[in-house]
Amino acid sequence: MAKKTNKYLIDGEPVPSVTTILGAAIAKPELMYWYGKHGTEKCEQILESAGEFGSAVHSMLEQDAKGQKLTHTDQFKTILENFKSVTDGWEWLEFEKVLINKEHRYGGTIDAIAKVDGKTCLVDFKTSSGVYPDFYVQVAAYRECLPEVERCFILHLDKDTNGWELLHAETEGLFEVFLAAKKIYNWKTGK
């Protein structure tokens, strides 16, 4: 059935991830400008470092929620304290849940599912330098795989303050945007 390696599978056949689809279909002119200004090598190093930082933050949040012992730097301690302040009273149900949409043939992994004020919520952690419109489209695609979800949140880490911004991710109408992106992806890849 669903299996996460580097690919998502439906009946043994690989299907694209939500982020792969959006990355192929939605232009990011600001990223092209950034590459042009700083050069490919430097930008690749920055992106790799940012990815490692994001993975470390995600891992720390999951370990803490599961009651596992943590060792981390002062920066991570502050990030965790601020995270707990924002999510106080939340009940964490699942982390890194693999999602498969058989009807539209795509997969993805959501960061977390939590109970918030008695409602089942999809939670996407972001450690990027900003919050971008395609994040909401990504959340809409994940939500389509989880009919039990009543609300969606994006928790964005501000790396300058180590504080978290809690954003209600309104997804109405955005799944149609995702499906349009998937059509573009299919056209580009010949699928």
pLDDT computed for residue 126 by the predictor: 92
Q: Extract the residue ranges of the chain whose pLDDT is less than 70.
A: 1-6, 27, 29, 31, 33, 71-73
Nearest residue to 31 via CA among 155, 170, 147, 129: 129
SS (H, E, C) the chain: CCCECCCEEECCEEECEHHHHHHHHCCCHHHHHHHHHHCHHHHHHHHHHHHHHHHHHHHHHHHHHCCCCCCCCHHHHHHHHHHHHHCCCCEEEEEEEEEEECCCCEEEEEEEEEEECCEEEEEEEECCCCCCHHHHHHHHHHHHCCCCCCEEEEEEEECCCCEEEEEECCCCCHHHHHHHHHHHHHHHHCC
CA distances from 153 to 40, 120, 129 (A): 33, 11, 17
Map out the domains of the chain as residue ranges: 8-189
pLDDT computed for residue 173 by the predictor: 96
pLDDT computed for residue 176 by the predictor: 98
pLDDT (tens digit, 9 = 90+) per residue, 162-174? 889 999 999 999 9
pLDDT computed for residue 43 by the predictor: 74
CA atoms of 175 and 187, how far apart (whole Å): 18
CA 131 to chain centre: 11
Nearest residue to 126 via CA among 83, 182, 172, 93: 83
Burial class of 29 by CB neighbour count within 10 A (0 to 12, 13 to 18, 19+): exposed
pLDDT computed for residue 6 by the predictor: 53
Supply the CATH classification number for the domain 8-189.
3.90.320
Q: Are 130 and 121 in contact (CB under 8 A)?
A: no
pLDDT (tens digit, 9 = 90+) per residue, 26-52? 867 676 767 787 788 877 887 787 778
Nearest residue to 97 via CA among 158, 53, 132, 148: 148
pLDDT computed for residue 77 by the predictor: 82
pTM: 0.84
Q: Are 24 and 183 in contact (CB under 8 A)?
A: no
